[in-house]
Amino acid sequence: MEKYFRDKNKSLRQMRIKSGVHLVVQFLSEAENLKNNEIILLLRKRNLATKDYHEFIEFKYAYNKVLPTLSHLRVQLSVALNIPPTEISVAKYIPHAYDWRYWDPNEEIEVKQKKRGKKGKKNQNSEEEKKVEMKKMIELDLRTAPFLLSEGDILGVRDDTEEGAIEDDFQTEADIRNRERLEELKKLDRSIKDSNKKPTFNDPFKIYTDF
């Protein structure tokens, strides 16, 4: 899990950067001054003809004082990519799983809300009570689960007016092969543990990617 450090006024200690931490430095062509409510996302427009993606597009997502929701994000993407907001579908890339997770706006998610009891009451009345309700993904805060949108995330964006969009699943051939290979390695690892043998890696893990 990567973390971006942008606050130049904080010390390394305040940012909890300790000895042994691996840091990556990006040299920018021009100064990048982002506010607290602005993040840089990497967009890849879906190529339905090849079942792959076009080149990366750096996209500054700003939500100002409004709640960052899928509905709001689609409006911003519409301006950047010239696609009607109602015809945009979005998927987030999960690198460690080689998977594109589609954000279905109509999917209902169980949301737990904390409800505090009144002061002065004892036992269960004074404890926090959790109220559960169902909400559609399009209404939820993008910073919370299941989105967990953060700086540097890769988003696949599909134009649903294009031919083949209904049957599309956002996956690529490279990702499918990587998931299959990863599952093979997991099975190999389990079999080695069960047999108490020392691992021998004669068959290296090949990564198929265009990144």
d(CA 170, CA 44): 11
- pLDDT at 101 > cutoff 90: yes
* More confident site: 159 or 124: 159
Q: Which residues span the domain enclosing 178?
A: 172-199+206-211
Which pLDDT belongs to residue 127? 45
- In terms of domains, do 82 and 96 share one? yes
- In terms of domains, do 185 and 87 share one? no
9 located within any domain: no
Q: Is the peptide bond before 146 cis (omega within 30 degrees of 0)?
A: yes
pLDDT in tens, 147-175: 999 999 999 999 999 999 999 999 999 99
- In terms of domains, do 176 and 165 share one? no
| 6, two tokens | 């942008």
* Of 55-69, 101-115, 188-202, minimum mean pLDDT range: 188-202
d(CA 26, CA 28): 6
Q: What is the mean pLDDT of residues 12-30?
A: 62
Which pLDDT belongs to residue 126? 44
140 located within any domain: yes
Question: CA Rg, the chain, in Å?
Answer: 22
Q: Is the pTM of this model over 0.85?
A: no
- In terms of domains, do 195 and 125 share one? no
Q: Average pLDDT of the chain?
A: 83
- In terms of domains, do 144 and 211 share one? no
